[in-house]
Every structure is written in structure tokens, then in C-alpha cells.
Amino acid sequence: MASADKNIYFIVIANPSVGYIEAGEICFIDKDLYERKKENTDRLPVTLVHMGRSMHTDIDKLLLRPLKLRSAELLLALESNTDRLVALNDPKALEEASNLSLDSRVCVEYNGKWLKGVIRYIGNIKSYSYEPITGAFFGVELQGEDTGKGQNNGSYLHKTCFTCPNNSGIFAPFTRIKPVDHKPSAPPLPTQSSPSMTSTEPLIVGDRVTFFGDKNAHHGMVMAIKDSPDGKMVLISTDKDEEGKQGGEMTVPLDCVIKEELLNKDETEKMDTSQSPEMGGVPDTEDISVGSLVQFIVGKKISYGIVRWIGYLPDYPEKSALLEVEDGSGVSDGTYKGKQYFKCPPQSGLFVKLSICRPDDRFSAAKEKEFNGNSDKASVYVEEENVPPIRTEDVSKRLIGRMKGIQGHCNSCYMDSALFSVFSCSSVLDSLLFKSTQDQTIQSILLKSIVNPLRKHGFVPERSVMNLRKQLQNRERCPTYTTDEKDPEEFLSLIMQEILSLDPPLKLCSPSGSGHKEQSCYYYQIFMDYNHHLVLPTVQQLLEHSFFSNSLKLAEVPACLILTMPRSGKSFKMFPKIIPSIELDITGLLVDGPQPCVLCGQLANEECAECFSDTLFSDTGFKYFCLKCSTQVHSHKHRRCHKTTSLHLPQGFSYSQSSGSDPRTPPREKLELFAVLCIETSHYVSFVKYGPRDTDWIFFDSMADRVGESNGYNIPEVRACPEVGQYLHMSLAQLANQVPREMEGVAKRLFCDGYMYLYQSKSMSLYR
């Protein structure tokens, strides 16, 4: 870093005329050179060197903003140019991060949650670099109850930056770091003689505030903060005035608004979370109680949350509620100025007036006093209107968040993950929901209590799934369906085959002699012999090897193909990693389909089974050749003894007999991956591909968190996981070098724990 101080650093704030430079890139120039250029050419381009590139270019000085050395290092840790520009617009956060030092207590964001820890390292995490500066990351050791929730032991890519217990270290850029403020400053209380006092703390949505209008003081909650030609304005939802008139929304200059003092002056007194008289706890109301799911309006948006505390706050006459909000729009962790009313994740707690809360209308049919999922008497939520799969553009607002997806209960994760994977964003098996059947009760529960609510509201309570499990058990299909864990393929086969009598989507055949022996099934279990040479296989390779070793072919293109991976029980995995094939090319697996020659691509005449494992010609397993290419391939001394078999063509395809005409090129049949079920330590989760982009992936866990013990309930969660697309684009060599515990986000689960892969044919599903 010795040479770093000899340079001046900049960030490009707008795209220059040259196309290979983008806004957001970090650049530098030698100080002496800059002074000479500055004196001679004040407004002409200066020569800079781009970080990460061995190249020089000229950029107009008007497009550059100078940076301090530490700011340049912090911004350089952000991979995206867009992220750097966004971070540049928050100078306070950049300054706070610049002032952080070793042993500072911070909160670090990881997998959507804020965890507490201590900074143990600040600097580069790469093994080497040829640039004068590199991105500055923060190495955080998680502490307290968050110990063990991280991703490493202080090492990154075999470089040890600090030491800590396993899975207790996290490396993060400054945008995922927040300093812990032990001494929050309290604004002075307003007085009649000082009506224009500005709070010393920044206002945020949800804050209780006081302001002066007309002759009286008014109180309310911040709905929004907006810029205007006259300065910053605050939109406030006001309370009732002194005459009892209902308040409304008012826009007030920021200078006229201050925060209310909601708690006692003794800010350091610690209190527990029980409903004690000292906490101001009050008995539950008839409609809303602790544990209720509620909705409330912030601005023009409806927000949702779980009531964690109800009571009277000192110095505030109206009954209040502490909500744990779903969308992360809270302002605290359940603590106000040193007093903790309930412990929840950072920026998830919000104190509001109880009067603005309404029962969550997404579950209005269920009149439970406390949402804990254990009431047998509770009615099951029913959605009569048929709802299509959730569209790509609606996933983020309808499906992602806590209390989203299907709520798990009592070993139901296999069923929750299977139902979410099949029905949330795909319609390939929707025929199950509408076909004529004698068992209309189970079909109705599946459609109206699970699929429709999931697609319309993004949530299914556990009682709906339990009702389905009870129906399966009552029909003596299996006496332990309400208590024990099953395999997802067992459950799907039961629903499709024995109960709803769906025609098997998969038809296999064993080519032999003059005919084909056909068999139908609902899913395919991949079996592997031990003579294979696969180390880091793709799903494509596993399927081809399994078909080859078992002499199987597809009789037709399936609308839906469900594959389970080779494994023995829940503990033994044949491969430590399996790479999902985003597209599954089944052209070579079709028994009577036209096949392209693996060498020239034209219509093939022959198949050679003995060339299957030979990767010289093609990465695909099955080898098909036209006559010309087959003659050339089998003229080699190692292949002269191979026996080829002639292919049967469907009607409409014929071999060209004239050397002057072009043979027809056969089409390729491909299936799309739309979901993956994973299992680790007897718990199923799922990944769903919900859109066309590489980053359109979501991760679902029906039991991501839990509230309470034996009488508590599980909190399901759906999170976006765009990092999956990054790994799927890596080469095999790059993936082989990935250390699972160091993979970003939840990607490790997809590659190391994949159990069931679901593929669909968009064209064939239209006819089934």
C-alpha cells in the first residue's frame, strides 16, 4: 500500500463518450502528474488508470469526483458500479464506515438478517493484487446469540485474515455494516416558547413526532419525508385534536417537527419482555392481541406485521402496540432508548397506535385469538377464486419476506417444499386441480386452501396443510401423515396416482428386438453404476448415464419430468456437489425421435452404444452419427469392433439420397428447470426459478424461524437468491474450486443438497 498515498483517487459519476468506461468505476492518477495536468489544462481530459484494468484513457474532469483514500477503498469493495453510485449518495454512511476501527461493535447483514459482532479485520481479502489499492472489507466475528450464524472462521479463499470459531466470521463491504450506537442522543422536549425546534436525530418513517400548527401542538406519526423547493417536508398522520376531532394527513416543514419522548427519562434501565405492570402491559383486546397478524397503512401502502406487545407507554395516553413488520420497514429491534419490549431483528420493530391496526384481511376467515397454528377448532382459510401462478413481476411484492410461502408444522417440510415448488410459479401440474375425480374433498383442499391462497396472498397457514394431512390419514392412505416426515416423491406420487388419478407424465421404454416395452411412472429415480468416471456431474450427465446403464429411453416428450438424485437414505450422497442443468436436452433420450449427428449436426442414421463414454466427439452421452461421420469415426483401430444400430425415423423425416441436396436438420427437445428440492439433516427446503433472467431465483424454508417453544409456531420465509445465477454461470473448474461454506448466500444448499429436480416442457404442458 506504500504507493497508494502517491495517487489521487476519483470515481466516474457519469458515462463518458468512450463506451468501455462506465459511471461508478474507481480511477487514480499520480499526484505529481495531476498537478502538472491541472496547471496546464484546467478543463481538458486527464490521463487516469482504471482499477482492475491495465490501461490508460482520458476522461473529462467534469465527470470525475475526487475521493479520499479510505473512501476509494470502501467503494472498491462493492462489485457493482451501480452500487457504488448509490453508496456515494450516502456520505454519512461512508463517513461512519471510514471511522470504524478494529474491535468496534457493529451489526452485519447476512442472508437478510442483521447479526451482532465485533470488527476483527479491515482490508483486502484477496490473496494478491497488482493495484496500488484494493477493496476494503470488514471482517466481523459474530458474538453472543449470533455466534455460529456466519459463513467462515476468519479465512477467505485460503487467506487467514483473523481467527474465530467456525461459522462465526463474515466478510462484508461497508454497505452491510452498521455501527452499534450505545448512547443515542435524545432531542429536547418542545415548549410553547420554542415552536421551531429541529430534532437532533434524523426522522424516519414510523417515528412519533410533535409539531405546532395554528395555536396548538399536534401529534402524529411520520408517513414520508419529501424534498420540495422550500426544503424538506414531512407527511404526518395526525392524532385526534384537543376537541376530539379526527386527525388527517398534514405536510409540515422539517424544521417544525421533533421526535416525541415516548419512554421514561431513565433510559438505561433494563426490562424483560413479560407483560408486567412495570412494562405498562395490558390485557389482550377482543380482536387484536399479542401474536395477532395485523395490517396498517403507511402512506398509501398497506403493511403487515405480528403484534409482539400491547400496552401504555409512559407519557403517552393512547394504547400502543409493538409490531414485528414483515417487509423490514421497522425502525428498531423492539427497543426504544434502552428499554426492550420485545427482541426482534434490527429494523423489524415498529411502535404504533393500537387504533390504527386492523386484523390481517389475508386471513380474515380465521378468527383465532392468537396465531400459533395449533388450534384444531380454527377454520381453514378458503380462497374460492382460481388464481394463476404468480407472475415474475409480482414475486417480489407478493411472495418474498417473512411469513411468506407455506407455514411448516410437525415434520411437514417435505410437503410444504413440494407444494411450493410445484404450484407457486408454475402451472405444469395444474391439471391436478381441475380434472374430474371421485375424491373432490382432497382436490378442493389442495386448490382452495393451499394453491389459491399461496398464489393470491403469498402465504398458506399451517392449518391448511394439516387439514390435507388429516384427510390423507383418515382415508387410511398412511396412518402417520400428520406426525411423521415422508419423502416428497412419495407424497407427490400419492396425490397424482392414488388419489387424483392423473395420467403418468413420464413414459419410458426399453428398446429390444422388434418392439419397445413401455412403462409409465410419475417420477424417475436416477440409479448409477459404480463404473462411471463422473466427479462433478451435471443433472444432464446423471440422467444420460442412468438411462444408458438401465437401457432406457423416453417414449415421448414429458410435460413434467421429476428427477430424484442418486443417494442412499438421507445421509449418504454419491456426489458432494451436483450442478443443476438449467436446460435439459432430452433429444438423445427419445426412442424414435430424429437425432442430429454429434459431429456435423445433420440427420443421423446410426447410434453407437460403445461410444457412449467417449467424450472426444461430444460432451453428451448418447452418440448418434450420420453414415459419413460414422464411417470416419469407426475407421479408427480402437473403434472398428463397435457395433452400431440403425435408427427408426418418425413419419415425415427421410434420408436424402441425393448428394446435391441438404439433409434435414432435426429439432432439439429441451426441458426447463423450474424448481429444486434440497435436504440437509432431515429438513427439506426448495429453490424456485420464477423468471427468465439468470438471477430470478427464490429460496423457500417453511420453518426458517420459530416463535415460542411447544406452544409456539414456525415462521416461513421466502428470500431472493440472485447469487445462484452467478454460480450457475461458472465453469466446471471454477465450481470445483468453490468451498461450500464460503459460497455466497444459500447457493451452497442448491449445489450440495439437491435431492429432487423438477423440469417442464412449456410446449407439451399446453396439451396435458
Positions marked active-site:
413, 683
**How does DSSP assign 588-625, residue by residue?**
GGBSSS--B-TTT-SB--EE-GGGTT-TTT-SSSS-EE
Alpha-carbon span 666 to 649, nearest angstrom:
11
DSSP lists the bridge partners of residue 358 as 295
Alpha-carbon span 3 to 508, nearest angstrom:
67
**How does DSSP assign 571-585, residue by residue?**
TEES-S--B--SEEE
**How does DSSP assign 251-283, residue by residue?**
EEEGGGEEE---S-S-TT----SS--GGGTB-P
Alpha-carbon span 639 to 610, nearest angstrom:
9
- Let me know if 600 is exposed, middle or buried by CB neighbors in 10 A (0-12, 13-18, 19+): middle
Selection from 661, 660, 663, 657 nearest residue 625 by Cα = 663
Alpha-carbon span 658 to 9, nearest angstrom:
69
How many other C-beta atoms are found inside a 10 Å radius of the C-beta of residue 444? 14
Residue type, 107: C
Continuous segment of H or E residues that includes residue 224: strand 216-228
Alpha-carbon span 105 to 605, nearest angstrom:
70
DSSP state at residue 68: -
Buried b (16+ CB within 10 A) or exposed e, 219-228: bbbbbbbeee
**How does DSSP assign 408-420, residue by residue?**
--SS-HHHHHHHH
Residue 644, SS3?
coil
Residue type, 719: R
Alpha-carbon span 23 to 12, nearest angstrom:
5
Residue 396, SS3?
helix
Selection from 646, 637, 642 nearest residue 610 by Cα = 642
DSSP state at residue 297: E
Alpha-carbon span 179 to 416, nearest angstrom:
38
DSSP state at residue 496: I
Residue 747 is placed in which grid cell?
Answer: 447457493
Selection from 11, 115, 29, 20 nearest residue 71 by Cα = 11
CB 259 within 8 A of CB 315: no
- Let me know if 651 is exposed, middle or buried by CB neighbors in 10 A (0-12, 13-18, 19+): exposed
Alpha-carbon span 719 to 578, nearest angstrom:
22
